[in-house]
């Protein structure tokens, strides 16, 4: 084995260790993120919310073709005064259990307050009752097709096992393997007996 080959091995090992640590860090952050998004909205059946951004899953095609059933929406909580015509907002009426996401087609100014006339892109008529400012949950900033199905699955028991438990086990096993490898590499060597001691003594006699 040449000296160059011997030098390459430690470099490759260092690179592999760095990549392994990066992967473990990413998995750890992902698990934390999923736990936060899953459990922050459990009270009152609210959507997962982080830093004024909420996550919704589209349940109907009323906004087709802009986005369809199964899309994932990210909405940002905003001041009602900043909402404009053509913005897509998510709102929930006082007696509604589910939220609705439709486009603003008209703004009504009354007594220093605003109301928003909304309509689904797939609908031919406006929604019957305008939306008041205090009913707006947020403005849609991002929508991703089909990702809602994935997110919905993650919130099930099977999804938790697949996306959280298994990666957590991978992290644990990886850390145990690295710990055992470290102990093996740094294990102090047992000093060998000097087999020549007796011969030297006899030679000097």
Residue 203 confidence (pLDDT) = 45
Residue 106 confidence (pLDDT) = 96
Residue 124 confidence (pLDDT) = 94
Tens digit of each residue's pLDDT (9 = 90 or more) over 41-83: 554 456 777 788 888 999 999 999 999 999 999 999 999 999 9
Across the range 151-175, mean pLDDT stands at 75
Go through 69-94 and write b for each residue having 16 or more CB atoms within 10 A of its CB, e for each that does not.
bbbbbebeebebeebeeebbbbbeee
Q: Mean pLDDT over all residues of the chain?
A: 79
Output the six-digit token pair for 110.
Answer: 């009354």
Of 93, 180, 171, 106, the closest CA to residue 134 belongs to 93
Residue 134 confidence (pLDDT) = 93
Tens digit of each residue's pLDDT (9 = 90 or more) over 93-151: 988 888 999 999 999 998 888 999 999 999 999 999 999 999 999 999 999 998 888 87
More confident residue, 92 or 33: 92
Across the range 23-51, mean pLDDT stands at 65
Residue 204 confidence (pLDDT) = 46
Q: Collapsing DSSP states into helix, strand and coil, what is residue 163?
A: helix
Across the range 20-36, mean pLDDT stands at 68
Residue 39 confidence (pLDDT) = 60
Q: Residue ranges of the domains in the chain? A: 1-39+149-177, 46-145
So what CATH class is 46-145? Answer: mainly beta
Residue 201 confidence (pLDDT) = 45
Q: Is 138 exposed, middle or buried (0-12, 13-18, 19+ CB in 10 A)?
A: buried
| Separation in Å, CA 93 to CA 4, 69, 177 | 71, 21, 54
- Rounded-to-10 torsion of CA 81, 87, 92, 93: 70
Q: Are 58 and 101 in contact (CB under 8 A)?
A: yes
Q: Is the pLDDT of residue 23 over 90?
A: no
Residue 142 confidence (pLDDT) = 93
Q: Is the pLDDT of residue 40 over 60?
A: no
Q: Is the pLDDT of residue 162 over 80?
A: no
Q: Is the pLDDT of residue 205 over 50?
A: no
Residue 21 confidence (pLDDT) = 72
């Amino acid at each position: 084995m040449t000296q160059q080959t011997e030098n390459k091995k430690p470099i490759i090992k260092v690179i592999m260790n760095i990549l392994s640590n990066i992967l473990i860090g990413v998995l750890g952050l992902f698990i934390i993120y999923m736990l936060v998004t899953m459990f922050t909205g459990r009270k009152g059946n609210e959507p997962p919310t982080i830093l004024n951004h909420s996550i919704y899953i589209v349940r109907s095609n009323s906004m087709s073709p802009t986005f369809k059933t199964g899309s994932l929406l990210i909405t940002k909580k905003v001041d009602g005064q900043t909402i404009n015509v053509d913005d897509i907002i998510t709102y929930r009426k006082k007696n509604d259990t589910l939220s609705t996401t439709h486009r603003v087609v008209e703004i009504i100014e009354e007594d220093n307050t605003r109301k928003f006339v909304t309509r689904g892109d797939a609908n031919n008529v406006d929604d019957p009752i305008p939306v008041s400012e205090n009913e707006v949950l947020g403005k849609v900033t991002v929508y991703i097709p089909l990702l809602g199905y994935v997110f919905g699955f993650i919130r099930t028991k099977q999804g938790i096992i697949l996306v959280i438990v298994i990666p957590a086990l991978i992290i644990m096993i990886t850390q145990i393997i690295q710990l055992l490898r470290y102990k093996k590499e740094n294990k102090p060597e047992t000093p060998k007996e000097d087999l020549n001691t007796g011969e030297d003594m006899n030679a000097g006699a």
